């Protein structure tokens, strides 16, 4: 299954840094935009796989899923 995420990439001196806001912890850097994009793809994939594994291990009969509203 493929999913599309929006990445933000900024040039900082000789490096590019990037992150995916929709995936907490998905940050990376590289010397080219392409390198950052590839690094971010890998980071997002690893984070989502890890979250899926933790979810599958930790789900119990006491687990609740609720929507919460936050004023920003």
In the chain, what are the domain boundaries? 8-58
What pLDDT is stored for residue 47 in this prediction?
96
- Contact residues for 33 (Cβ-Cβ < 8 A; gap 6+): 9, 16
**Contacts by 47-53 with C-beta closer than 8 Å and gap 24+?**
47/23, 48/23
Q: What pLDDT band is residue 70 in, cutting at 50, 70 and 90?
A: confident
**Which tens digits make up the pLDDT trace of 22-60?**
999 999 999 999 999 999 999 999 999 998 888 777 666
**Which tens digits make up the pLDDT trace of 53-64?**
887 776 666 777
Whole-number average pLDDT of the chain: 91
DSSP-derived secondary structure for 11-39 = EETTEEEEE-TTSTT-EEEESSHHHHHHH
What is the reported pTM? 0.76
Q: What pLDDT band is residue 21 in, cutting at 50, 70 and 90?
A: very high
């Amino acid at each position: 299954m493929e999913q599309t995420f929006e990445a933000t990439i900024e040039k900082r001196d000789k490096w590019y840094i990037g992150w995916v806001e929709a995936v907490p912890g998905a940050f990376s850097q590289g010397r080219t935009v392409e390198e950052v994009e590839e690094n971010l793809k890998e980071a997002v994939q690893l984070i989502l796989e890890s979250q899926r594994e933790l979810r599958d291990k930790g789900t119990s009969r006491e687990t609740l899923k609720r929507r919460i509203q936050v004023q920003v």
